[in-house]
Structure 1
Amino acid sequence: MRETADRIRRAVVAAGAVTDAVVRRVGRYLWPRSKGNRNRAYLRDRLIALPLLGVVSFTAFAWGYAELRGDSAYVRDQLAPALADLADAKVSLRIAQEEAVKSLGTEQAVELGGLSERYRTRLSRASQDLGQVAQSGALTVSQRQELQVVSGLLTDYSGWISRAQAHVANPVLRLAELSYAQGMLYSPAPAAEPAGKPTAKPAASQATTVVDRISALEDQLRGRLTERAAWGPRVLTAGAVSAVGFALFGYGLWHTLGFLRRRFRIRLSLPLVVAAVPLVVIPFLTADGILAQRAQHAVQSTARELTDKTSAAKETETENHPFQAPHRQSVARLTGVIDRRLAAGRTPGPDLAWLTPFVFPAGLVTAAVTAGALHGYRREYLTVTRHGAAT
């Protein structure tokens, strides 16, 4: 028993010694002291530490910034337009059904004898909206298949409306076909819920009508918007690593310039100054990424209004008053709010997104220039000392 305890104790002591040696070596590379340190050792440590810190810092930052800008571009160019088109399609289908009932569901249907132009326009508009969603790139394979089902149901719905129009002189058949078409389009209005209790939506697997299926797709896309708008663990990790790396790199570069000035009488190392130039852009790119993430977060509430608050009545009110401001919860106004908020998610002036593919190469160039400069200083110093011209 005592021998086992002694072995464990010796193993712990040995592990502690190894850990201490590793920490000391890493600390010596990251935080070398110029005071009391030989020129050769200091330059060797800087030659290892600074290029390594430059590569790690720029790599982590490039990864995190590309993630943020990629999310921003996806939300702006694919996800937000898809949500707007789905909301417009849903409202247009409800308006089309109301127009069909007005045209064919009254006693004067025989005299009117047809469907209104607004019905045809809104039905065509809904089909166009769904086609744009399918081509937006925002849907997965299964969601595109679900959208194909919706398109097929719309074709059947249009067929039942045409049957009702053909049987316009037969009230029984006409009303039955209109009722069946409406049942394909959307479920009956639910009973009033208690105050403060939200109306439950059918799950994607339970949706059967056209509007319910569109609502299920909207919920899925809104969930994806929430995921993209959140600070993900990869972005947070990349941000933390790059922040620490840039701090150490800048600190080490500054002290290296001071070392060269004191020991080698080099007032300003132009290669090291050139290597530090890309660091000037990092704060602007950081602010740009933060603004993009905030913009994505800001559109979540508007996207919720777009999917839950728009209605046929509000769209009709907007259409009936074309020279007034649109209803605050109309599809066009909410879509405009989303577009403006996403457009504001960047720094003023030229768009910095074009710099995204150049961040990582800039890190490699910085590391290469730093390594080349320090290697040149070290080689020159070793050449002089070997000839006995300096100590």
Structure 2
Amino acid sequence: MTGSTTRRDLLRLRAVLLVVTGLVVAASWFVVRDVHDRIGQVLARGAPAVLEATAAHAALAEADAFAIDAFDSGEAKLAGPGDRYQNRIAVASQSLTRVAEHNVAAAEGSRQIQLVEGLLVAYTGWIAQADAHYRQRSTLADVDLWYASRLVHAPGIGVLAELDQLARVQREALDRQLGESLAAPVWIGLLAVAALVLGVRLVLAQRYLRRRFRRRWNVPLLLGCGALLGLCAVVVFGVLAQYRAEVAAGELRGVTDAWAQRAAVAGDRGQRELRGLVTRTCERVCGETVDRFVAGLPAVPRVEAVAEHELTTRVKAVNERIAAADRMAGVEPLVPVAGVLVLVAVWSGFRPRLAEYRYEPR
């Protein structure tokens, strides 16, 4: 084998290693960067949007129950629907505003928010009208309260149903954020194959140089193999961060379901009071609509399965898990560092051997 042939082989082998290394590093960076960005979006917007939509649902259900209780107990004579009602309505309104700030469902989410805002204004208007009629000792107060509460609880079209839909579209958008990540198995599989090819190439280059130049070890190439393993470890950290974020998203669904159950208990309590109030007002014959409403109430009152403090603890835990996944995905800057180390190792490993053939054929 002539010197010029050996030099060409060395240049070709080095070029292949540099190109494959560049591709592996670029792909690794895109994967880890994508994971970090998506988890950051879930932490900053996706999870808050879902939680705030659920909080608005629970607050409105409780507000309606408090308003009904105020009218049924006679408290409304002194304080209208009451401070508890006002506080929960304020919470519902604030939560809805925060959903708008964190909205991840694009135009569909915005339309749903606008619809709920309009219905909420209509509801508070009915309650205010019921308060005015109640102070005038008019039976129209019960009618107003009935329409207000049915606006909230009407199956499929009430404010609570629309808030459920709002939470659903936010949750679906959050799931898409994580589900469309480059850390999907197919992309990670391709990246693993590319990294394996690079590793095999580095080992073969080591063997070639040892056989051709009678040198047992090429230290730079050995260091390059170590840097490649470090790069793979960084990508594994990114994949684990994706997995932890997906687990936290599953726990988030459990939290919102438990929260919705608490809201259902409050709503059930309010609707039972409304039944008693309305049936007393219309005496024996209340009409088909009221009869259907009464027949549709659960025979046995719902029981709260999750205490408020437990729910708060679970919400905090979910947020902490998402934040931990975001920190884990923050290894992104290590990708170019490991990549540069591999590139430098390849370049340095071939440089002394190429220097031995630095001449121009005549």
Q: Deviations over 1:299-346 (max 9, x none)?
A: 344333334332237689xxxxxxxx9628964243124224334547
Residue 334 of structure 1: which of 291, 311, 314 is its match? Answer: 314
Deviations 1:15-60 (A, max 9, x none): xxxxxxxxxxxxxxxxxxx9xxx63353133122101110111122
Query: Residue 167 of structure 1 aligns to a residue in which SS?
Result: helix
User: Is 1:140 the equivalent of 2:106?
Assistant: yes
Compute the RMSD of aligned alpha carbons: 3.4
Aligned 1:350-369 pairs, distance under 5 A = 351-356=327-332, 359=335, 363=339, 365=340, 369=344
Partners in 1 of 2:342 and 2:235 — Cα distance?
20
Quick one: structure 1 residues 60 and 295, their matched pair in 2 at CA, closer, same or farther if it must change by over 3 Å?
same
> SS in structure 2 opposite 1:99?
helix
* Cα distance in 2, alignment partners of residues 361 and 315 from structure 1: 55
Match of 2:91 in 1: 125
Give SS of 2:24's match: helix
Among 223, 228, 242, the alignment partner of 2:172 is 223
Determine the C-alpha separation between the residues in 2 that align with 1:361 and 1:168. 72
Structure 1 stretch displaced more, 63-72 or 271-280: 271-280
Structure 1 position 124, deviation (Å): 0.6
- What is the correspondence of 1:36-115 to structure 2 with a 5 Å cutoff? 39-106=6-73, 108-109=74-75, 111-115=77-81
Asked if 1:256 corresponds to 2:205, the answer is yes
Indicate conservation of the 8 Å contact 2:36/2:329, yes or no.
yes
Q: Distance in 1 between matches of 2:250 and 2:334?
A: 34
Separation in structure 2 between the aligned mates of residue 184 and residue 67 of structure 1, nearest angstrom: 43
Sort the Cα spacing of 1:138 and 1:56 in 2 relative to 1 into closer, same or farther, 3 A. Answer: same
Greater relative CO (CA pairs within 8 A, separation 6+): 2
2:355 is aligned, of 350, 355, 380, to 380
Is the contact between residue 47 and residue 375 of structure 1 (CA under 8 Å) also seen in structure 2? Answer: yes
Shift of 1:281: 2.9
Retained in 1: the 8 A contact 2:183–2:242? no
CA deviation string 1:173-210 (max 9, x = no partner): 1111111211222215xxxxxxxxxxxxx4xxxxx322
Which residue pairs with 1:184 in the alignment?
151
Segment drifting more, 300-309 vs 91-100 = 300-309
1:383 is matched by which residue type in structure 2?
Answer: R
- Cα distance in 2 for partners of 1:213, 1:53 equals 52
Taking structure 2 as the reference length, the TM-score comes to 0.74
Aligned length: 319
More helix per residue: 2
Percent identity among equivalent residues? Answer: 25
- The CA distance in 2 between the partners of 1:256 and 1:343, in whole Å, is 42
Distance 1:254 1:315, change over 3 A: farther
1:291 is aligned to 2:240: yes
Matches of 1:386 and 1:373, distance apart in 2: 25
Q: Answer whether contact 2:61 2:266 (CA < 8 A) is retained.
A: no
What is the identity, as a one-letter code, of the residue corresponding to 2:344? Answer: V
Give the alignment partner of residue 164 of structure 1, picking from 121, 130, 133: 130
Amino acid at match of 2:242: Q
Taking a change above 3 Å as real, the CA distance of residues 360 and 242 of structure 1, as seen in their structure-2 partners, is farther
Residue 342 of structure 1 aligns with an amino acid whose one-letter code is: I
Task: Measure, in 2, the Cα distance between the counterparts of 1:135 and 1:57.
Answer: 38
Other structure's SS at 2:154 match:
coil
Q: Which amino acid aligns with 1:98?
A: A
In structure 1, runs of 5+ residues without a counterpart are: 1-33, 189-201, 203-207, 317-324
Matched with 1:308 is 257
Cα contact 1:99–1:119 (8 A) shared by 2: yes
Cα distance between partner residues in 2 of 1:71 and 1:292: 11
- Residue by residue over 1:133-178, the C-alpha shift from the partner in whole angstroms, topping out at 9 and shown as x without a partner, is 1111423123123212212221222222112111213342111111
Alpha-carbon contact 1:161-1:181 (below 8 Å) kept: yes
Find the counterpart in structure 1 of residue 291 from structure 2.
none
Partner of 2:294: none
| CA distance 1:66–1:358, shift in 2 (3 Å) | same
TM-score (norm 1): 0.69
Q: What is the distance in 2 between the residues matched to 1:354 and 1:345?
A: 9
Aligned partners of 2:178, 2:346: CA distance in 1, in Å? 39
CA 1:77/1:232 → structure 2, altered by over 3 Å: closer, same or farther? Answer: closer
- Kindly state the Cα deviation for residue 100 of structure 1 after the two structures are TM-superposed: 0.7
Q: How is 1:270-289 mapped onto 2 (pairs within 5 angstroms)? A: 272=221, 275-276=224-225, 278-289=227-238
